[in-house]
Amino acid sequence: MFIFIAKVFWLFFPAGLANMAPVLFKWIPFNAPVDFNKTYRGKPIFGPHKTFRGFIVGILSAVAFIYMQRALAPSMPDFVMIDYNSINVWILGFIMGFTALSGDLVSSFFKRQLEIEPGKNWVPYDQIDWSIPAIGFSALYISISWPIAITAFFLASFFHPFFNYLAYILKINKSKF
């Protein structure tokens, strides 16, 4: 069971990394907001903290990690669930990165409309907003069984707050969760 969980974690880590990357790359000065500072019903669509920088570094981080997975796959066959040589890593990286970040944008839209402050935890949506689209759309490109999808969902739900708390301890993130 542990090996299966480790394999699922390894498979979907690029999507999680895409979700974390915007925080890790805040030091890059290009921070144009995705919503161009537009509003809907008098409230920000996504807010100034959802930027093109975040989208770009998130997607590129997912692609880069999948390249690394492909390079490491021969040396760790027990942890590999897909044949990285038979897929286009750019496509899978884009799917995982773009859909994870898009799910986060959808959640941000509703948070802004409900007047929930940026960075404030919105349980359970903040824990799952990125994982559901990443799992679902990845399944259109690679074979993902229901046990893999369900395990990925629960892993994302567990590890999201863990990594946020770790980022808080390391002073990368301002809020604990």
Q: What is the pLDDT of residue 87?
A: 95
Buried b (16+ CB within 10 A) or exposed e, 51-64: bebbbbbbbbbbbb
Residues in the chain where the model's pLDDT stays below 70? 164, 167, 172-177
pTM for the complete prediction? Answer: 0.89
Q: What element of type H or E holds 91?
A: helix 89-113
2 Cβ neighbours under 8 A, 6+ residues apart:
none
- Contact by Cβ (8 Å): 40, 113: yes
Q: What is the pLDDT of residue 90?
A: 96
